[in-house]
Every structure is written in C-alpha cells, then in structure tokens.
Structure 1
C-alpha cells in the first residue's frame, strides 16, 4: 500500500516567529528579502498590443461559495471581419489579481521565429476571431471564474454571425476554467456549441510549487506583517492555488499530509467529477510545454540550491528529494542551532520532472541577493504528464512523472490529441513546435 506524501516541521516554538527575539526575526526577514506576493508574475511588456475591436464586461452566471466573479473579454476580429464569425475563446491563467489583456496579447503573440507572425496574428489571418478572456480575480475559485467563462461562451454565441462552432480553451489555469465551464454547461443541458476544446500547459492533474518555498513565503509574511497590503503568501493561500497544487501547505509550521491538506482541492475534484470530469462533445487538444520523452531537468534530488551562512544565521534550501522518509528540504539555524527545519516523506522529485517550468528558486534567490546556479533557476511547475491529462487520479498522483508520452495508448490520456515541446520550456511559452501544431489542428476548422 502506497504511503501518503507528508511534510514534517520541527520548530523551536509552535510558531517560529514567537520563539525569536525581535533582532533574530528581523535578521531572518531581511535575509528572505521582500518581493511582494511570492510567485506572482508581474506584467512584462516588451511589444505593442493590438487594440481590441470590442470589449465585453462579463459577470459570472452563478455564484460559487457566495462569490460572483467578474471579468472582461477583448474581441480581436479576424482580417476582413466586421463582426464575430469564427470565435476562438482563450482564457487567462493562474496569477495574482486581475488579468491584463494587453500583457496576455503580447505574451501569446510574441514572435517565436524571425519573419513569422505571432500566433494570434496567424489565427486572425486564418479568419479566426480571437476572444481573450480575463478575470478580475485570477486567484479566486475556479468554479467562480468558470461562471464568467460560461457568460463569455453565451455572449459569443449571441454576437456571432452565422452558425460556425466555437473553439474554447485557455492557457495554464485558463484551460481548467474552460474545461469546467464546458463540462458544467453539458451537465446543465446548456448548448455551448463548441467544436474544439484546448488547454495550453494546463495542470489537469495538478501543478507544483516547491513545498519549502511555500513555507518560506508564509514565514516571511509572519515575520514582516503589512496590514492592508497583500501578503507574501497570498497567492499560495488563494482558493485557486489550493485547488490546483498537488502538494500544498497552509503555513510554515504545518506537519501532515500534503496531497489532501486542502479541502478546497478535494471539493473541487469532487465537483469536477460530478459534472462529468471533462466536456464530452468537443474534440480535446492539449499543448504541453514539457518534453514527452521523459527527459527532465538536471536537478539532483536533495541538492542544496542555496546554502547561506551569514554569521550567526544559516539557511539551507534543497531541491525536492525523491521519496524516502523525513528527507530534509530546508533548515534555518542561529549560532549553529536549528530553529526551524522541514522534511518530506514519500514526496516524489517533482522539481526536476519533465514539464513547463517556473523560475521559483530564481525569484527567491534574487530577492535574497544570493548567487544561484543557472540550472537551479527553473524547476517544474506543470509536469508533462499533468498537461497531457494522463488518466490518473489526481488525489493519489505521485507516479509516472518521467513517463515516456511519445507512444501513449489512447486510453492513457483524457485528451484526443496532444503535442509536447522538444525541450522543457517556461510554463505557457508559445514555442514554434506548439504554435505550428495548434495552427495545424485548427486549419480545417
């Protein structure tokens, strides 16, 4: 019988911050640095975004947990179109705060090859009207934002001229939001008129942020409270993070199971199963930013990423060990004495798994002013087996991280077709391989 993955923390006090002197607490807080909300990706605008031809203000068609989500969509008509004719809805993904449609356009339309138009420009040249769907709270419940996606689908059907079917999907969590929205519409007997569904590096089984970094985000927040402003751990504790992350911890001193530590994830998976798990009517496409041949990153499990020694203060943070019992992932010492240490048991070596990557360790090291080897800058965020929607129970998921997906039997994935990158690329990156495959899949539509 498989052992449940868990984490165990030893601290000098029930809450480590209460066991430190003010000077010690400040020293640790200063060492951890201040980068605002940890793991949130700031806008990176390097190019000019196209102006939308229309903007739809959207309200979720129903509340979730008493919360009615809102959002907006930018409509970018195809060349020669004066109205919506062939709608492709692309939903924004996981991050903190509201969507930025200009930034989303720039990201998705970035030139991946000299002399070749960006992906969104290519779609419009093919006669496809692009609808970028954003959310006012990307970090709220998936079900709440899925209600916004339902409203967007209905608006597209209402505004469309003719009867061309829709293509609906999203990048990162946007693929999960639209997966839920279409499945819910089918469950409710609501005709979504969608011919194709797509997900771009979507964590169908789950996503991964190193557990030790989650803990340090909580610790930094507890040592430097800033009332009235977002905390360093706000993205980690958000409903969306709890629903998406395979391994999640609620605070820096938590000891216990990590795959079932959030009721929000369990409830979401049960809710998704209730409405059918996946929409059945559309042809389902998956784009995977990781390799499909089982090749991961050069991140030996248990290796120290940074090992800080500043006088009386020492801090060690390690690459996630692969399974084992009480394997150390991080430790803080003062004058040689451990004041906080964390260890995992039966947790797989996710950091080096094939998949779309996130510069998690890099961001923390840079905020701390610490040198970091280039190979440690990017770790797995959405494993390839997750983006390819392997037919596995996400509640028990820890195996097959390095599976070869190149000759996968049809019943091993819940998608109809998927494409992997030849290398492990940054999460949600628009690469030549994925862009060309996606355009080819839509060429006959």
Structure 2
C-alpha cells in the first residue's frame, strides 16, 4: 500500500495527441477553453491608487542560479512626513509576470468596513511610511526575489531619517520572500534593523492548487500549444510555484510522488534551513485568511466539478478525494479511455480550512463550463500553513483540519497569529485581520 502521496496517470499513447484525430484534438481544445495563463490573479482595478511619494528601482544584491532579479518599490509617506522615517515594507505575492504596485495598493487598501479607512491609509495615519515592494518576475526563484527584498531593506535603512526600526513582511509569497531575506541577512550578519516581521496568508508549509487542474493546464498546452507568449501552465511550471506548492506535477502524464516531484522545492527548503529557517530577531506575526476552528469551506471530497459529455467526449474533474488508493480525480475519454488520473494518500486539501482561491471557477470560466457557485473556490493556503505550524513541510497533511483555538506556543514558529472568522479569499482584508494587525503594531 502506498504511503507517500502520489499520482498515477494512464494514457493510451506516449502523448495524448497521438491517439486522436485532428478534429478530436480541436474539440478537446475547445472544451478546455481559451489561451492565457491559468491561475494568474487579475489585478485590482476598482478605484485609483495615489501617486507614490518615492519610487525605487531595485536590483538584487546577488544573483541566484546566474540570474539577478530586479524590482521596484513605491513609497507612500505617512501623514505629515516629508521624508522616510518609519518604514513598513509589504512585499507582493505569488503571480505571473511583473508586480502592479497600483493594483497592490488598491487590493490592500480596499474598504472592509463602512466609514473606516483602508488598511494602508490607517497605517499612514499611525505614522508608518508604507513601502510596497514589487518584483519584475514574480514567478522566478524565491531566493532571487529575496535578494531584491534585501536591497529594499538596505535602501530603507539608508534613506530613513532617525533610527525607528523597520517592519517587514508580505502577502502570500511575499511573506516567504521576506522571511528568507531577513533570515539570510542574519546568517550573514547584515543588520536588517527590523523588529517586526509579518506574513499575510503566507504558505509557510506549502500552498495547494488541485493536481487535476495543474494537469488540465498542461494537457491544454500539449494539445494546443500557445502561438506566442506563455501558455496555460506557465505559472504552474514556474520556479516560484515549484518552491511554494506542497504537491506539484511536471506535466499531464507524470506518475509518481507529488511532494518531492520538484527538486526546486526540496532545495529551497534546504536553503531556508541553512539560513536559519526563520529570522530570529524580529517579533513574528502571522495573519491567516482561514478559520481557526478546523472547519473547511464545505467542498465534498471526490465530487465531480466538471462532468462534460458531448457525443463521445467525456471530460471529468473532481474535488480532491480524501486519502485512499488510486482515487480518480480526472478523466478524458473519446470513446475508449484516453487519459485518467488518480491520486493515492493525498488528503482532501480542497476542502480544508484556509485562504481560498477560485481555481475551479477560473478554469470553468476559461473552459466556458457552468459551475455551481459553491464549488468555485477551494483552499489555497491551509490555515495550518499560514500560521507556520511547527511541522515538517512534507509531512503535515494530517493536521489540515486541526482546531487552532488553544494551540500551544511551541507548536508554531510565529510569536503571535490571528485567524479570520471565516474562510475568506486568499490575501483579502477583513475587519478581524486588519484590527488585530493594527493592534499589534500600535503596541510597539
């Protein structure tokens, strides 16, 4: 009986396209939908971001794997400030391509309560100079973008007037990047002058995108390659995705273990241990978009989300089943079986409490398929990952539904954390999280 989480794929030929006629290929391609990068989050466009007081062009302080990453920071000074005095750095999160710092402002400053200023406006009212840190390639190696974060921290120290300590962290992947950057600086005895680190729904133990949806993105590319630009699976195959996702597959025909499928993830975790795992000097805060009582979003494991049947074509994709052996997650048939996918010993991640992502809904929209609203979004960053439960990053899936209400202090790598009152959208602002975060900052 299999013990390590794995996936097994059966195909009738080396490549699925080898079993189909031109007409059949086109019909499956039409069913799988339009071109474009699947799972990439569209930028926020509701409103207009204020003009930054300062803009820094940033170059990583060192290359990683021969690549020197670049980025940019938008500095929004606190009310009454004419120069940088009390920097609070917020790093952008996981996505494809360059950061859009105006969109990041609009997202983080979105109204969450009537007649209450947004999070970033409140930070500026408290005297914090908000530094939004973006990256020119959000999808590249975390270590490369962490070098950009190091440059940003050093720039903030250099330009700061006075000696107020920094607050440094990020949303989603940005929390991992700044975690690594601060830990690396400590390991190299570089003074980051940061007394508070925060992560906002950051996948400290890993994130989740349904394996069957990863496979469908690859499948679309194999049947109908992108004419120009990135294909549907560009974000999935990116270095950042390989380093962040708890379970990953390299193509639509891969069979084997899913937690150790990418050497990039194992190498990154080894590198993180080498620099100290977490920065030790700052007080470490964690915000989780998931609820802390162990209650998930209510997606029944194994439920078909897509069950398209047209003539002899069948396309089925299921909510991740709970453990078991060779549990079917996807099927594409054209008369006889063409491609089937099954997982073994993979827990019901879609249904776990955590920050949600509408992965199922986005793929349904791309494919032009109807979908029950209740099935559009599933867990993306499990709450136990966002609160940095003190577990091996490869071995924590039995804890997915744990009640965190009375979590002992030594069960997390953070000093304090806050969970939302419901399983809210990954990275979204809510009264519970904003008020807790501001209270933590006001006490220093």
Q: Report if the CA contact (8 A) 1:7-1:342 is conserved.
A: yes
- Count the aligned residue pairs: 444
Alignment-derived partner of residue 64 in structure 1: 64
- Displacement of 1:439 in angstroms is 0.5
Alignment-derived partner of residue 286 in structure 2: 286
Counterparts of 1:2 and 1:383, CA distance in 2:
24
Counterparts of 1:225 and 1:292, CA distance in 2:
42
Deviations, residues 370-402 of structure 1 (Å, cap 9, x unaligned): 111111000000000000000000022321000
Alignment-derived partner of residue 372 in structure 1: 371
TM (norm. structure 1) is 0.99
Counterparts of 2:226 and 2:376, CA distance in 1:
28
Counterparts of 1:411 and 1:226, CA distance in 2:
49
Farther-moved stretch of structure 1 (132-141 vs 219-228): 219-228
Query: Does 1:124 pair with 2:97?
Result: no
Deviations, residues 148-186 of structure 1 (Å, cap 9, x unaligned): 000000000000000000000000000000000000000
Counterparts of 1:384 and 1:43, CA distance in 2:
24
Counterparts of 1:390 and 1:257, CA distance in 2:
23
Secondary structure, aligned partner of 1:290: strand
Alignment-derived partner of residue 356 in structure 2: 357
Alignment-derived partner of residue 384 in structure 1: 383
Q: Report if the CA contact (8 A) 1:196-1:283 is conserved.
A: yes
Q: Report if the CA contact (8 A) 2:208-2:379 is conserved.
A: yes
Please tell me the root mean square deviation across aligned C-alpha atoms, in Å.
0.9
Counterparts of 2:213 and 2:365, CA distance in 1:
14
Counterparts of 2:405 and 2:396, CA distance in 1:
20
Counterparts of 2:279 and 2:81, CA distance in 1:
30
Deviations, residues 218-259 of structure 1 (Å, cap 9, x unaligned): 000111112431111000000000000000000000000000
Q: Report if the CA contact (8 A) 1:259-1:396 is conserved.
A: no
Alignment-derived partner of residue 212 in structure 2: 212
Alignment-derived partner of residue 247 in structure 2: 247
Alignment-derived partner of residue 179 in structure 1: 179
Alignment-derived partner of residue 340 in structure 2: 341
Deviations, residues 57-115 of structure 1 (Å, cap 9, x unaligned): 00000000000000000000000000011100000000000000000000000010010
Counterparts of 1:162 and 1:17, CA distance in 2:
64
- Displacement of 1:348 in angstroms is 0.5
Counterparts of 1:80 and 1:197, CA distance in 2:
25
- Displacement of 1:444 in angstroms is 2.5
Alignment-derived partner of residue 399 in structure 2: 400
Secondary structure, aligned partner of 2:370: coil
Structure 1's consecutive aligned runs of 4 or more residues displaced over 2 angstroms after TM superposition are none
Farther-moved stretch of structure 1 (366-375 vs 289-298): 366-375
